[in-house]
């Protein structure tokens, strides 16, 4: 089947911080380049979810006059707290004893979605063409195996793959260089990493699942600029995770929870851990009298430098968390994503104007502050395999005394889908029922995401073996998809007294957790029809 073809100098997949920074930097270097960005969300920002305490280092370099450009970066961090939570008690950790990477006094509390919308405007004013609602669904290769470009998703197929009256064929976008900026666990990035063996010699990538709710709270409890993090309860010593509470503008707080997807107990439900966390006295008192206005979840990268794949290949580059540039101890990935995009732009500029190989990306990366930052951070996450307490002690030594310069590198030994223990060997967890005031169920939560996928389209969560969930995973792991999915896409229903695996793909919020955590890697996330998925406002 021949599809319509459009030619560009550079095609970028994904209008997040890395993709937009790539485009802006490229246009600054060479204004006559033809650049297009595809975004699967119905508008820029609608699929972005992040804490977010923003470090401006990359933006200061990219748009030094950002303060004059009506940017949505307004709330400066004024105060910081770090709490260790016990079941009912909390212990405040003095801020001066926090490693430097966890100090935020120069940073801002922002909505990353709004930052991306604004970066999108900056890019468009430089002449970048941005197309929201068009997922890149397929990679196009040249005969020599190099990346030629991508194809957009066909629109208007029914669930059996037949063309409806509204069918609109996808088109091919060819480029001199294609930049993949899909974010954590991008489905095309995953294909490229495998095809070009970009992760050869690297540790397996590590992931987390992050939840976020936006609350409007009572004025007297709101402290604009306050940044608070917690560790400890409700997670046990072996499970990696923690919370954030950021007091943003307009009496809003950004409240969230991150759990490492290397958890071992298949009975654990990350969603319910997050809900339960909110019932802790020190959190509950902030929320009481307030109102939850948004909910969302997204997988994030935690592997750091050890797991970072090679970011260049013939005809294409990986940027941001499509590769994995998040700085875990800093709990920040936006400035690193942007910087990786800016380095990619310089690489592409040299490639197009001086015919330099894309492999110079690696040298440029290694000479940048981004590399230094990730190198200093590399030992923090893996040390938590010894548990929370030893992890913290090690991190203190590594980050405060040696400033990340210890002469060895800890390894990640397992991929997250390998860490689950059989269900009958692990304790069941009873989660309290939601009270619909502070804690909620998945149904009322998914409603707030505004997610939707046109009915009667092919299911975009593909099972390699459709029988495996019931024949194997249910028995061995009590089908953990029922619990790790943050919106209840996966259910095991009993039909005629037989269990049946149900996929409610309409509810999917594109977090990619199933693609990561499914113990047999049996679930593959692919792009649904354009414009589908959540409609986040200011996440």
98 binds another protein (CB under 8 A): no
HEC letters along 477-530: HCCCHHHHCCCCCEEEEEECCEEEEEECHHHCCCCCHHHHHCCCCCEEECCCCC
Site for another protein in 186-205 (CB under 8 A): none
Size of the site for another protein (CB under 8 A): 33
Q: Compare residues 134 and 233 and give the one whose CB is closer to another protein.
A: 134
How many Cα neighbours within 13 Å face the side chain of 390?
A: 9
Q: Which of 122, 130, 108 is nearest to 37 (CA)?
A: 130
Task: Tell which phi-psi region holds residue 404, choosing left (phi > 0), alpha (psi between -120 and 50) or beta.
Answer: left
Which of 45, 204, 210, 486 binds another protein (CB under 8 A)? It is: 45
Q: Compare residues 83 and 119 and give the one whose CB is closer to another protein.
A: 119
CB of 520 to another protein, least distance (A): 33
Which of 12, 15, 35, 46 binds another protein (CB under 8 A)? It is: 46
218 binds another protein (CB under 8 A): no
91 binds another protein (CB under 8 A): no
456 binds another protein (CB under 8 A): no
Phi first, then psi: give them for residue 495, nearest 5 degrees: -125, 125
CB of 155 to another protein, least distance (A): 4
The SS3 assignment for 187 reads helix
- Choose the stretch contacting another protein; rule: CB under 8 A; options: 12-20, 166-174, 404-412, 476-484: 166-174
Q: Compare residues 328 and 489 and give the one whose CB is closer to another protein.
A: 489
* Rounded-to-integer distance, Cα 80 and Cα 102, Å: 10
* Rounded-to-integer distance, Cα 215 and Cα 376, Å: 34
Binding mask 264-303 for another protein (x = CB under 8 A): -----------------------------x----------
Q: Which of 246, 257, 308 is nearest to 280 (CA)?
A: 257
458 binds another protein (CB under 8 A): no
Q: How far is CA 206 from each of CA 202, 273, 283, rounded to the nearest angstrom?
A: 11, 20, 28
463 binds another protein (CB under 8 A): no
242 is written with which tokens? 């923690």
Distance of CA 200 to the CA centre of its chain: 23
Which of 447, 464, 471, 500 binds another protein (CB under 8 A)? It is: 447
Determine the number of helices (DSSP H) and then strands (DSSP E) in the chain.
16, 24
Which of 9, 129, 346, 491 binds another protein (CB under 8 A)? It is: 129
- Choose the stretch contacting another protein; rule: CB under 8 A; options: 40-48, 140-148, 277-285, 387-395: 40-48
Site for another protein in 493-532 (CB under 8 A): 530
């Amino acid at each position: 089947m021949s599809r319509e073809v459009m030619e560009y100098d550079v095609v970028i997949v994904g209008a997040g911080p890395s993709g937009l920074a790539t485009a802006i930097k490229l246009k600054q270097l060479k204004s006559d380049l033809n650049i297009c960005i595809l975004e699967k969300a119905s508008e820029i920002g609608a699929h972005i979810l992040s804490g977010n305490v923003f470090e401006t280092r990359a933006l200061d370099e990219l748009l030094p006059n950002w303060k004059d450009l009506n940017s949505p970066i307004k709330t400066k961090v004024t105060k910081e707290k770090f709490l260790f939570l016990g079941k009912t008690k909390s212990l405040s950790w003095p801020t001066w004893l926090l490693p430097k990477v966890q100090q935020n006094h120069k940073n801002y509390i922002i909505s990353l979605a709004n930052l991306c919308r604004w970066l999108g405007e900056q890019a468009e004013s430089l002449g970048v063409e941005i197309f929201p609602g068009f997922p890149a669904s397929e990679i196009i290769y040249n005969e020599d195996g190099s990346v030629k470009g991508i194809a957009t998703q066909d629109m208007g197929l029914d669930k059996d793959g037949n063309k409806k009256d509204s069918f609109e064929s996808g088109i091919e976008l060819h480029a001199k260089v294609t930049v993949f900026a899909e974010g954590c666990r991008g489905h095309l990035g995953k294909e490229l990493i495998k095809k070009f063996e970009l992760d050869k010699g690297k540790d397996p990538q590590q992931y987390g699942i992050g939840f976020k709710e936006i609350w409007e709270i009572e004025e007297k409890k709101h402290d604009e600029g306050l940044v608070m993090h917690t560790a400890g309860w409700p997670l046990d010593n072996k499970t990696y995770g923690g919370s954030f509470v950021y007091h943003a503008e307009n009496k809003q707080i950004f409240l969230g929870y991150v759990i490492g997807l290397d958890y071992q107990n298949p009975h654990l439900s990350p969603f319910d851990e997050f809900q339960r966390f909110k019932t802790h006295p020190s959190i509950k008192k902030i929320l009481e009298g307030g109102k939850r206005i948004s909910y969302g979840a997204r997988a994030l990268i935690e592997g750091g430098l050890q797991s970072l794949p090679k970011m260049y290949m013939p005809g294409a580059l990986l940027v941001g968390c499509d590769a994995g540039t998040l700085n875990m101890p800093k709990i920040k990935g936006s400035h690193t994503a942007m910087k990786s995009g800016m380095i990619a732009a310089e690489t592409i500029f040299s490639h197009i104007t001086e015919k330099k190989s894309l492999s110079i990306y690696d040298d440029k990366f290694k000479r940048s502050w981004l590399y230094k930052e990730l190198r200093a951070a590399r030992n923090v996450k893996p040390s938590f395999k010894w548990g929370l307490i030893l992890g913290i002690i090690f991190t203190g030594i590594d980050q405060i005394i040696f400033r990340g310069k210890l002469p060895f590198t800890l390894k990640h030994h397992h991929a997250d889908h390998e860490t689950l223990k059989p269900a009958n060997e692990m304790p069941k967890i009873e989660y309290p029922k939601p009270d619909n005031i502070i804690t909620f169920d998945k149904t009322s939560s998914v409603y707030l995401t505004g997610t939707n996928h046109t009915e009667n389209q092919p299911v975009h969560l593909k099972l390699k073996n459709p029988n495996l969930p019931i024949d194997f995973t249910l028995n061995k792991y009590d089908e953990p998809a029922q619990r790790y999915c943050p919106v209840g896409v996966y259910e095991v229903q009993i039909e005629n007294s037989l269990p049946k695996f149900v996929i409610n793909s309409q509810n999917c919020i594109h977090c990619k957790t199933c693609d990561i955590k499914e113990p047999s890697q049996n679930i593959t996330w692919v792009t649904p029809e354009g414009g589908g998925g959540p409609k986040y406002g200011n996440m």
